[in-house]
Structure 1
Amino acid sequence: MAEIKPCEPSVLYNLLNRSGARLAEINYLCLIDARETQDYRTSHIITAKPVKADSEAAFLLPEALEVDSMQHVFVYDSNTSSVQEDSRALLCARVLSEVSLSPVLVVIGGFQRFSALYPYLRTEKIMYNRHRLVHELESLKPYPVEILSGLLYLADEKQSADCSLLGEMKISLVILLSQQSTRGSQTIANFPVDDSVTADLYSSFERICDLIASTIDSGSRVLIASPRGRSRCSAVTIAFLMKHRKHTLQEAWSLVLACKPDMRPNAGFLQQLAAWELHLTGRRETNTSLL
């Protein structure tokens, strides 16, 4: 029997936005909506499947759903706040756990909290045609990765230039680490740094980190971007977490990696982050060879 665990909405958000192509894989994500059928039809999280109950109120999993082969299994109801309560989400999670090989994650706060945080990821569409569903998932517009809930996001340069996306997400400041300059309705702070092992990002850490901190301390949202969204922006994000959230390099690295598994500062930036840790704490606490 698989373990049942609580999870924050941001975990599901980041998984949904890793890649539309991955979402289209038949065994990648199992997302179950445990609410009443009418609630599901009114609005639900994208890719979610409804669940039915029999005459004895026992949950019946959707037909043709091979839960035992799924890499990620999530369930939500209206507003479950704990895995200790006998909510619809937990009752459904117990059924899922009997057949799943992966942990069953219950989204804390349910649909109400998730849709309040990410209203652009809810839909009324109900897909019955598998080919149409695959097409829609492959063409799904990914949103930036969320590092700090409602405050700090990480993206590629294309996303940072999408004014409609930035508007939906209420982004106030874009930190762009690129040789290219971008104009938009949001405030752009451009730092022209190459993604090379000899490029100097360290000398900009202080200024960038303080700029991010002053913006999110005012309750506004910041997006950090670089061309591919993997090296420069992740290095700056880690540097910020080290200075303003007091994380070690290891802790900050692990946090960003959990949100964005394909992130990877180049070797030069990694050494600069190690020097940053020494500057901030007066000692080297992280063995960079293990990262």
Structure 2
Amino acid sequence: MEGLVLLEPTELYNMLQQASVYSNLSDNNYLLLIDARNKDDYNESHIVTAKKAPKNKDGQFFVPFDSELECRQNVVVYDSNTCSVKETTEANDCGSLLWEMGSRNKVYILKGGYEEFSALYPFLRTQKIIFMPKELDEIKPYPAEIITGFLYLGDWRQGNASYVQKDLKIKAHINCCVEAETFFPANSGHLLHIQCDDSSDADLSSKFEVACKFLDSCQEKNKPVLVFSNLAISRSAAIVMAYLIYQRKITVEEAFNHVKKCSNYIQPVQAFMDQLKTWSAKVLGK
């Protein structure tokens, strides 16, 4: 259907986790998340911050009065299990209406709907209907998901938050901070400590191969890994980029674009980008 784009569950997960000082969800223009299921299903549980799609007395969808479609950066609609924008479903019908009524960008339809998303991310389900501005400011984002169910990118706080380890089932960590202190128990999983300053004269490239072998080992054992640094902007981002280059045999640009899509605030220092280019040349043989 025109104006509709299918959205993978991991993409919505990452969309919900974007944050700088505060969660992006506290910005009214950032996301309009619409639940097109029936009222009973919505009341039982829905994705955090989702609003119920209103219907008139004839059972037809209409645009929520506070939707402000022309201002929204992202508009996402879901029902129970829509898997294609070519189907005739509640999500597609509602999404088409929002597109026709003035959404500034194409409308996303959540692939697999609520059923698939809630199975993957049960900790993002809620019965809460109204979020006050202060509550949105206080939302604590989870790490970005770089490889579904396996590789995550986070900051120092997330690397040491027990709820993150529990909900994402983290079994191993790569700590890119200079400091070695961590709050999670030493016996909770494997830890690789990469001590490196976030500066233009720091050598991170010597750690790429070690990190990739560590991550390979974790993937073979089905152990999800969280890579973290102080702000999840530079060192940790470079490490996950190095692994994507190594695992998928892709270029630096492709790796950067993938990680940037998952975590919009990454910006490795230029020295690390140069080191990644050298690493890419070695991996790709050119």
TM (norm. structure 2) is: 0.94
Task: State the alpha-carbon separation in 2 of the partners of residues 62 and 86 from structure 1.
Answer: 21
Quote the offset at 1:253 in angstroms: 1.1
For the Cα contact (< 8 Å) 2:11–2:262, is it kept in 1?
yes
Quote the offset at 1:249 in angstroms: 1.2
1:48 aligns with 2:50: yes
Alignment partner, residue 288 of structure 1 = none
For the Cα contact (< 8 Å) 1:41–1:124, is it kept in 2?
yes
Alignment partner, residue 239 of structure 2 = 236
Task: State the alpha-carbon separation in 2 of the partners of residues 280 and 43 from structure 1.
Answer: 46
Quote the offset at 1:61 in angstroms: 2.4
Task: State the alpha-carbon separation in 2 of the partners of residues 266 and 92 from structure 1.
Answer: 43
Which amino acid is the alignment partner of residue 42 of structure 2? Y
1:223 aligns with 2:229: no
Alignment partner, residue 193 of structure 1 = 196
Quote the offset at 1:2 in angstroms: 7.1
Alignment partner, residue 137 of structure 2 = 138
Moved more, 97-106 or 52-61: 52-61
Which amino acid is the alignment partner of residue 95 of structure 2? A
Task: State the alpha-carbon separation in 2 of the partners of residues 166 and 203 from structure 1.
Answer: 28
Task: State the alpha-carbon separation in 1 of the partners of residues 270 and 65 from structure 2.
Answer: 48
1:111 aligns with 2:110: no
State the secondary structure of the residue aligned to 2:37: coil
Moved more, 47-56 or 95-104: 47-56
Which amino acid is the alignment partner of residue 252 of structure 1? A
For the Cα contact (< 8 Å) 2:176–2:195, is it kept in 1?
yes
State the secondary structure of the residue aligned to 2:75: strand
Which amino acid is the alignment partner of residue 150 of structure 2? L
State the secondary structure of the residue aligned to 1:52: coil
Alignment partner, residue 168 of structure 2 = 169
For the Cα contact (< 8 Å) 2:78–2:114, is it kept in 1?
yes
Mark the CA change 1:25 to 1:183 in structure 2 (over 3 Å): closer, same or farther. Answer: closer
State the secondary structure of the residue aligned to 2:132: helix
Alignment partner, residue 12 of structure 2 = 12
Q: 1:96 aligns with which of 98, 111, 118?
A: 98
State the secondary structure of the residue aligned to 1:171: coil
Which amino acid is the alignment partner of residue 267 of structure 1? Q
Which amino acid is the alignment partner of residue 9 of structure 1? P
Task: State the alpha-carbon separation in 1 of the partners of residues 207 and 27 from structure 2.
Answer: 40
Alignment partner, residue 26 of structure 2 = 24
Quote the offset at 1:267 in angstroms: 1.2
For the Cα contact (< 8 Å) 1:2–1:100, is it kept in 2?
no
Please show how residues 249-288 of structure 1 align to structure 2 within 5 Å: 249-283=252-286
For the Cα contact (< 8 Å) 1:176–1:190, is it kept in 2?
yes
Alignment partner, residue 129 of structure 2 = 126
Q: How many residues end up aligned between the 2 structures?
A: 279
State the secondary structure of the residue aligned to 1:147: strand
For the Cα contact (< 8 Å) 2:146–2:152, is it kept in 1?
yes
Alignment partner, residue 39 of structure 1 = 41
Which amino acid is the alignment partner of residue 53 of structure 2? V
Task: State the alpha-carbon separation in 2 of the partners of residues 139 and 2 from structure 1.
Answer: 37
Quote the offset at 1:183 in angstroms: 4.0
State the secondary structure of the residue aligned to 2:140: coil
Cα deviation per residue 1:243-268 (whole Å; 9 max; x = unaligned)?
11111111111111111121111111
Alignment partner, residue 209 of structure 2 = 206
Moved more, 231-240 or 190-199: 190-199
For the Cα contact (< 8 Å) 2:155–2:228, is it kept in 1?
yes
Alignment partner, residue 287 of structure 1 = none
Quote the offset at 1:111 in angstroms: 0.6
CA RMSD between the two structures: 1.5
Which amino acid is the alignment partner of residue 146 of structure 2? I
For the Cα contact (< 8 Å) 2:153–2:228, is it kept in 1?
yes
Q: Which runs of 5+ in 1 are unaligned?
A: 284-291
Fraction of identical pairs, as percent: 38
Alignment partner, residue 83 of structure 2 = 81
Task: State the alpha-carbon separation in 2 of the partners of residues 167 and 152 from structure 1.
Answer: 15
Quote the offset at 1:198 in angstroms: 1.1
Task: State the alpha-carbon separation in 2 of the partners of residues 205 and 120 from structure 1.
Answer: 32
Task: State the alpha-carbon separation in 2 of the partners of residues 233 and 123 from structure 1.
Answer: 31
For the Cα contact (< 8 Å) 2:23–2:141, is it kept in 1?
no
Task: State the alpha-carbon separation in 1 of the partners of residues 274 and 76 from structure 2.
Answer: 38
Task: State the alpha-carbon separation in 1 of the partners of residues 218 and 237 from structure 2.
Answer: 18
Task: State the alpha-carbon separation in 2 of the partners of residues 196 and 252 from structure 1.
Answer: 21
Quote the offset at 1:114 in angstroms: 0.7
TM (norm. structure 1) is: 0.92
